[in-house]
Amino acid sequence: MEFEKDILCIGAGYVGGPTMAVIADRCPHYRVTVVDIDEDRIRAWNSDRLPIYEPGLDEVVARARGRNLFFSTALEDGIRNSDIIFVSVNTPTKTFGQGAGRAADLQYWEKTARQILRNAESHKIIVEKSTLPVRTAAAMERILNAAPDGPRFDVVSNPEFLAEGTAVRDLESPDRVLVGSRETPEGVQARKAVVEIYANWVSRERILESNIWSSELSKLTANAFLAQRISSINSISALCEKTNAVIDEVAYAIGTDSRIGSKFLKASVGFGGSCFKKDILNLVYICENYGLEEVARYWESVVRINEWQEKRFVRNILSNLFDTVAGKRVALFGFAFKANTGDTRESPAIYVARGLLEERARLVITDPKALGNARAVLADVDGNVSFEEDPYKAAEGAHAIAVLTEWDLYRGLDYERIYRSMVSPAFIFDGRNILDHQKLYEIGFNVFAIGKAPLKHFK
């Protein structure tokens, strides 16, 4: 069968995989191929056990795979055979040299650009899908169009706004899709080609076109604003704990102001995930580069408050367990950076686990989807840490439970049973404010939530 378009995606991760699966599902007339250098990952995409957990993804992949969705390691062929190439390789924060800890590490992107250059035999549209610092597209164009007689490349920015755990829903009915390009005739034509893909299922008014810099910067700014809301509410949560105010009541009261809105106002142990910190630090780095010190400090403080919130949570456990957790069993309920994902990147649980292990606690970690990643993330620690599928077993013999991920599962547990199996006095630190604190207190727990006064059975 002849396909109308041949789409390639380089990078089969949390963004590339689900995005291409939804495109293939919604556009049976396109052939969509996803390539990655990681053979295991491709094997998993071709199996019944996909490499990432995302509600609804199995069904989408099952419908399209083998029909017009293909996963492969054949990068060169993929490049040759495609008209449009999405690049969705990782751009982690740089760990070395200039801009270490802030700037994005672009080595994978550049390597990919050079592979495209080596293998392309005809005109290609290159779609920037990873989060990249503003102005990367220009560098890419320069690399790609370096060979004077080679084929032409047009670089388009199409930032991803999907959130993990709701990726399929976010892709199927996005608030908006952003497509940026140069404003030259070729640039605009390339932009239209990408718009056409989404127009198969997204209404036109939700597809926003802009210049390439606006598109790149919008992605960083959206994440910085979202993270800023969490840091703002978390900073107020500390004040609530000292006074008689209750953070959820405050959040509700301000969230009903239509100018503020109700989303992203849930106080927590801190935000995690692969994007927020990375994108904000990127923004900070860019501002510094342009000599905008004040702007850089302003956004940097969003990350600092988040670190402070994580630190505060650990300190709170320590001080309430009579200033020592050495040798005490502490159960961590949840390790993923949020519910409905197995992803643990930048999860506040990592910081909390390390902090408690430094204090020589005996940790038991439970999580319905993230135990594999948790093991890998903590592989280097030489503390006493074990992993347990069953939350009841995890809590057995523990002095304290710390809830770190808002899995629904944890709301419905039998806390009377858990209380009986724990060491007395038993403590719960609800880092996600998802439990019924009054009820837990009545069962006998000493309860510490985020942003409200503790419920203690002793002074």
Rounded to the nearest whole angstrom, what is the least distance from the CB of residue 162 to ligand UDX in the complex? Answer: 6
Which phi and psi angles does 420 have, rounded to 5°? -65, -30
Q: In whole angstroms, how close is the CB of 52 to ligand UDX at the nearest point?
A: 12
3-class secondary-structure state, position 427 = strand
Taking the complex as a whole, the smallest distance from the CB of residue 160 to ligand UDX amounts, in Å, to 5
How far apart are CB 111 and ligand UDX at their closest, in Å? 23
Q: Which is nearer to ligand UDX, 25 or 160 (CB)?
A: 160
Cβ nearer to ligand UDX, comparing 338 with 399? 338
Provide the 10 A C-beta neighbour count for residue 412.
8
> Edge-to-edge, what's the strand order for the sheet holding 400-403?
384-387, 362-366, 329-333, 400-403, 427-430, 446-449
Task: Give the CB-nearest residue to ligand UDX.
Answer: 273
CB 365 within 8 A of CB 374: yes
Measured from the CB atom, the residue of 128 and 160 that comes closer to ligand UDX is: 160
* Helices 276-289 + 212-242 axis angle, to 10: 120
In angstroms, what is the minimal distance from the CB of 60 to ligand UDX?
18
Q: Give the separation between CA 88 and CA 112, rounded to whole angstroms.
A: 10
- Count CB neighbours of 324 within 10 A: 12
Query: Is omega for the bond preceding 185 within 30 degrees of 0, making it cis?
Result: no
Token digits for 238?
């500390």
Where does this chain bind ligand UDX (CB under 6 A)? 160-164, 223, 226, 230, 264-266, 268, 271-273, 275-276, 337-338
Residue number, 33 or 274, with CB nearest to ligand UDX = 274
Neighbours of 98 (CB within 10 A): 8
Looking at the Cβ atoms of 53 and 70, the one nearer to ligand UDX is 53
As given in the structure block, the two tokens for residue 107 are: 């080595």
Identify which of residues 329 and 354 has a Cβ nearer to ligand UDX in the complex.
Answer: 354
CB 88 within 8 A of CB 19: yes
Answer yes or no: 275 catalytic.
yes
CA distances from 73 to 35, 152, 412 (A): 5, 25, 43
Calpha distance 247→255 (Å, rounded): 12
- 450: amino acid identity, one letter: I
Distance CA 285, CA 188 (A): 30
Instruction: Give the whole-angstrom CA distance, residue 9 versus residue 50.
Output: 17
Q: Which CB atom, from 160 or from 367, has the smaller least distance to ligand UDX?
A: 160
Task: Quote the least distance from Cβ 337 to ligand UDX, whole Å.
Answer: 4
Burial of 47 (0-12, 13-18, 19+ CB in 10 A): exposed
Q: Which is nearer to ligand UDX, 226 or 385 (CB)?
A: 226
Handedness of CA 47, 49, 50, 56 (dihedral sign): positive
SS3 209: strand
Q: Which of 27, 240, 275, 287 is catalytic?
A: 275
Q: Which residues are part of the catalytic machinery? A: 275
